[in-house]
Structures are given as C-alpha cells and as structure tokens.
Amino acid sequence: MKTDSEDFKINPPETYFSDLLWGKSIQIKTFKNRLSKAKIKNKKFLCAVIQVSTRTKTSKSMQERSKEVFEETFNSILENKKNVNKRGIWENLNNTSFVFSFWDYKNDKKASQLIISLKEKISTTLKADILIGVAKFPYQNFSKEETFDNAIKAIDHAAFFGPDTLIHFDATSLNISGDRLFQLNRYKMALDEYQKGLEIEPDNINLINSLGVCFGVMGKLDKAKLEFDKAMKINPNEVMVIYNIGLLYQIEEDIDKAVIYLRKAHGIDSAVFEVELLLGSLLVKKNHTKQALPHLEKAGEINPESGLSFRMKGEIHLENKLPEKAGLEFNKAIKINPRDAISLSGYARSLELQDKNLNIARSFAQNSIDIDTDNNLFKKRLKIIQKKIETNPVVEEKTKTA
C-alpha cells in the first residue's frame, strides 16, 4: 500500500511527461544530444520543462500563440550581444511544452528568480496557468542528460498539485517517478528510482515503504521486510507500513501475525479501506465472522465502489442462514460488478433459500457458471434451483404473482 507524499490533497496527472523517457521521443533525444555537446560556463546549469497547464483548455490558436511566446521569452533571456545563444539552449517538446537550459547566472538564487520571472511573464502574456519542473546540475551523481530527465520528473511532480505550480526536483519527484514505473509493471526501473531517492533523503519513509512494496511484488519478501523494519524504526505508527507488514505475513500464510499487525493499523486509523478489508477477510478465514463484519461494514462505507466487501458480507450472512440479508449484500456487489460470479451464485442461493423468484435465481445461477464454468459449487446450486422449479411449480407461480 502506498499513500500520498504530502499531507494535503493531491491528484495524479492524467498523463505523465516521464512516459516520454521510456519511449522514442525525437525531441527528447535531440535536446539530450545538444545538451551533452554544449560548452557550459562554470560547469553548472538549470534545466526547466515548461507546459501550458493541461487543465487549461488549449485551442489551436492558443497552441500557436504558446509557441510564439515561449520562443520570444526564451530568446530574450538567452540572447547576448557579445555571445549570441551562448547562455543556454531550448527545444519545443510539443505545441504547448518546452525544455530550457541556461547557465549564464551568478548563483542559484539568481537562477531561481529568473525561472520565476520567466513563469510569470509567460503566464501573464498567455493568460494561462503554467506548470514548471526544474532541475539543477551538478546534483548528486546525475549526468547532464539525466538532469533533463530530472526536470521532466519534476514537472510530473508539479502536475500533482494542479495548475500554476513550480517544483524543483527532489526525492519526492523520484518517488512519483518510481510509482509511475511501478504502475507500468517496470519494477526493476522503479527500484532504481526509489533507491536514487533514498540517496537524497535516506529517512524518507514514503520511499522506504515504496521500495519495500516493490520488493514484495517482485517476490523478494526478505528484502521487503528489511525495508519495512527500517520504516518502523523511523515511525512505528505509520499505518501504511504496518499494513504492508501484515500483508507480507498474509502472503506467507501466517494469518495470526497478519491479524496482529492489521489490528494495530486499525487502532491507529480505522478509516483506511485496505486495512479494514484485509482484516475482515483474514478474520473470515479464521472463522471469526462476527468480528469480521464490522471491518467489512467499515470498508464498504469508506469505498462504496468496491464490491468485494459487500460480497464477503453476503457470504457471511449465507453461512449464518440469513438469506435475506445475504441477498441484499450480493445485490449491491452485482450492481458494482455484474460479472462477479461468486456474488451471482450467492444471490441465486439466497433467493432459493427463501423460495423466492426461482426463475430469476436460475438465471443468476446460470450466469455464474457461464463466467466460471468449472465451479462445482455453482453447478450444485443451479441443480437445486432447477429441481425446485420442476418439482414445485406452484411455489414459483406464487412468487411471480405475489
């Protein structure tokens, strides 16, 4: 489990600039080539990736105007009467996005002021919000070309906070980059990002947790535990870490230890969906259904769009011979996921136990088998319903006219 890197509300962008790094963008390759060959004064520079915010509607005329304004602004900053275009370089990435590197500045403070001035000028001229990601060289062990990569990761970081944001590359930028690679199932590359981030901030609990999660997904459970242990030493009450330790024990089939950690996580924060759902699920496995129900109820309240908690409650009610309650829960689960075979079969069973709407029950039972053709329990339930309809048609007729 991962959580947001900041305490206040942030939202991931719809698209990630960093995806361009893993593709074959000609513009990125061109700029990297120019940057590698550039004769940089004082061996230091800033790199900024700039975009007219995707949250701002950009018409074709706005796109054309964006390119004009960026070009005018960049050239006015880079131009020098004695050394024309020797202060930096720039390249357009698309109609509304540009990369800009410059190195003729006295100190980092002056350079940052120039970037802010640039942002304000472009924003005012275009009357639009501007996103900027900034990275500097030298920084850590990053090469000149990697500094451009870092600026791209910084603009992804900025996009989390919405329009009109400027972010300087940091450890959180690498966490976000790693998480994106994790989403793309590029786990080895994600590991590299998390580890680079920890070189910048060794005690960053989000990075340590992310590294542990990545090791876990890769099946390296011992390494995952080591990372979670490090995180626990930094903050023993970090819910996401406690949950992940519980999850590891569940993977290792040590249910008792898993429940201990999940109960601890619940005690710290009872409003985390993943904690409540997994704790409820494990308590069901231990046949503690009465204890499980409150956690599953809570999970459904936290995330009413997840059908799993409703399905599990339906199964508990079936086991406890409460078919009417079971039917209500299965019905909720089916509305969320009409192809939930377990809920379809469970709902059919709940109707059959009530001798209610048997033709409808038969239809749901058949649908469950169409999805999971080899499930013997589903087949058994369908046969029971069919037998009831065949041997007692009066019951079915009554339910139709009731």
Give the domain CATH number at 335.
Answer: 1.25.40.10
CATH of the domain at 134: 3.30.70.270
Please tell me the predicted confidence (pLDDT) of residue 23.
76
Domain boundary, last residue among 121, 149, 169: 169
Look at the block and give the residue holding tokens 């209610």: 356
For 373-383, what is each residue's pLDDT tens digit?
A: 999 999 999 99
Residue-averaged pLDDT of the chain:
89
Structural domain contains residue 143:
yes
For 205-245, the pLDDT digits (tens) are 999 999 999 999 999 999 999 999 999 999 999 999 999 99
The CA distances from residue 213 to 224, 307, 359, in Å, are 7, 25, 47
Percent of the chain past pLDDT 70, that is, above it, reads 90
| pLDDT value at residue 81 | 45
Residue 125 belongs to some domain of the structure: yes
Q: Is residue 397 part of a domain?
A: yes
Structure tokens at 337: 């996921």
Q: Is residue 88 part of a domain?
A: yes
Confidence of residue 92 (pLDDT cuts 50, 70, 90): confident
Last residue of some domain: 137, 169, 201?
169
- The answer to whether residue 327 is domain-embedded is yes
Which of 104, 138, 169 marks a domain boundary? 169
Cβ pair 15, 146 in contact under 8 A:
no
pLDDT over 70 at 352, yes or no: yes
Residue 233 lies in a domain: no
- The residue behind tokens 């996401």 is 240
Residue 146: give the domain boundaries: 17-169
Overall number of domains in the chain = 2
Residue 383 in domain: yes
CA distance 311 to 324: 14
Over 309-368, what HEC string results? Answer: HHHHHHHHHHHCCCHHHHHHHHHHHHHHCCCCHHHHHHHHHHHHHCCCCHHHHHHHHHHH
User: Are residues 212 and 231 in contact, defined by beta-carbon separation less than 8 angstroms?
Assistant: yes
Tell me the mean pLDDT in the region 267-288.
97
DSSP3 helix / strand / coil % (the chain, rounded to 5): 65, 10, 25
* Domain annotation covers residue 209: no
Lowest average pLDDT, out of 128-132, 255-259, 344-348, 373-377, goes to 128-132
- The pTM score is 0.84
The pLDDT value given to residue 400:
47
